[in-house]
Amino acid sequence: MSGLEKLEDRIKADLENFNDTNSFKQINAVKSFGEILYTNWSPLKDSLVQEKVAESFPIFKERIISSDNLDVKKAIIEFFGLLTFLEESYSFLLELFLTGKEPLSYYAAEAMVGFTAKREKTKGLFFDVLRESTNEYLRYIAIGVLGNRFQNHFLNEIKSITKKIAKEDKYPKVRQLAWKRFVLIASQQEVTQEKVKIHQEALYRALFEILTLFRPDIPVSFSRIIDLSKNLAVEKVKETLETVDPSHFNFSPEYIEGLISEIVEQKFLSGEFLSLEHVFIRSQDTENPILEPIAISKEYICYYCGYPIEKESKSCSNCNEKVLNCIVCKLPISFGEESGKCYFCERSGHLSHIQEWVKVKGKCPTCLKELTITGIIPLTQIVRE
């Protein structure tokens, strides 16, 4: 019996077992197909073996769709991860990943990593998911798989991304996983520095929220602002860090005064802070602030690749893309931040900034055409061509 005949008999037997109603036989049959790729079928060429194994792809693909057995589905997905020579396999895994269905989406992401020739494409896909997808599970998967499989190849990029997401992602579980990943790959000094920044950021945002809640024209004491903001800041940080020591928020009164002054001076909120009297008075003419506060860390990373950039940068030194600036606040739109564009001129900005601007002004900040909230297009495309 020739090598080709032996191979065909082996495949035929495996397919018969796969069509059995016993899930244990089905799983073993799938695993057997994977083993064929690593067995010496001398004098057959690898390309012929791959061709014969690939003929089973439509059969297994159909079973993933129709089967109710999760273990069988998982075994097939892992097998597809071995078909690195088959473009259809990667495309199907990509399609399966983007469904965001738990846990198949995770299995597909893990399998896609096996396609080393598509490493850059897969990394870019995960980056885009983190930048633009609103699916919490997909974002969680992207952080996990990026860290587990890619950190040795893209350490600095992943470090920047996880640091950014740990501070700003709207999903607590995603923030927590991003922070854990950052702690694993960063130095102790970097982790300590970032903890301080997270506490500073939380205090800044807490101050902003508290100041917006006070009734207009009523003086509020500085000590009251500190107490309320400190408590809120602790709660905010708990969504990222598992344990939070309230003493980490014992910032000096001078430091907190500076933050309040910045919020007022930058017109994020209309009001007056009287430093001598130690009171804040919110203005009557402001119902809602037009802009949310900008991160006090003053750190920005490229919207497209996650590489650190300066506020004044015109283009990213890593990917050479032109820095995407917000049409409202004029600052860079960083990786992970929600963004949108005007329906008419397609100029982009932080999504919340454009929305608040349109609510107040009723027109685009750039082209000045009348614009409603529905005329703001969220940038949600996941895969960049």
Within 13 A of 237's CA, how many CA atoms are on the CB side? 26
| Residue with tokens 């067995």, as numbered in its chain | 39
Q: What is the pLDDT of residue 297?
A: 55
d(CA 134, CA 215): 34
Secondary structure (DSSP) of 133-148:
---HHHHHHHHHHIII
Beta carbons of 185 and 154 less than 8 angstroms apart: no
d(CA 46, CA 68): 33
d(CA 112, CA 95): 11
Beta carbons of 209 and 232 less than 8 angstroms apart: yes
CA 13 to chain centre: 44
Beta carbons of 80 and 107 less than 8 angstroms apart: no
The DSSP output letter for 150 is I
| Sheet-wide strand order for 348-350 | 348-350, 339-342, 376-378
Secondary structure (DSSP) of 74-130:
HHHHHHHTT-TT-HHHHHHHHHHHHT--TTHHHHHHHHHTT-GGGHHHHHHHHHHHH
The whole-model pTM stands at 0.77
The DSSP output letter for 375 is G
Burial 335-358 (b: 16+ CB within 10 A, else e): bbbbbbbbeeeebbbbbbbbbbbb
Residues, the chain, total?
A: 385
Going by their DSSP bridges, the two strands 308-309 and 376-378 should be labelled as unpaired
How would you class 102 by CB atoms within 10 Å of its CB: exposed for 0-12, middle for 13-18, buried for 19 or more?
exposed
Q: What is the pLDDT of residue 267?
A: 72
How would you class 127 by CB atoms within 10 Å of its CB: exposed for 0-12, middle for 13-18, buried for 19 or more?
buried
Burial 200-211 (b: 16+ CB within 10 A, else e): bbbbbbbbbbbb
Q: What is the pLDDT of residue 385?
A: 36
Q: What is the dihedral of CA 286, 291, 297, 301, to 10 degrees?
A: 180
| pLDDT tens over the chain, length 385 residues | 678 888 899 999 999 999 998 999 999 999 999 999 887 766 678 888 999 999 999 999 999 989 889 999 999 999 999 999 999 999 999 999 999 998 999 999 999 999 999 999 999 999 999 888 889 999 999 999 988 888 888 888 899 899 889 888 888 899 999 999 999 999 999 999 988 888 888 899 899 889 988 888 899 999 999 999 999 999 888 888 877 788 888 888 899 999 998 888 877 778 899 988 899 998 876 555 555 555 555 678 888 888 888 888 999 888 889 999 999 888 899 887 888 999 999 999 999 899 889 988 899 999 999 999 989 998 854 333 3
CA 230 to chain centre: 28
Q: What is the pLDDT of residue 145?
A: 92
| Residue with tokens 């199907």, as numbered in its chain | 92
Beta carbons of 356 and 109 less than 8 angstroms apart: no
| Residue with tokens 């969504």, as numbered in its chain | 239
Q: Which domains does the chain have, with CATH numbers?
A: 3-185 (1.25.10), 189-282 (1.10.10), 300-378 (3.30.40.10)
Q: What is the pLDDT of residue 153?
A: 87
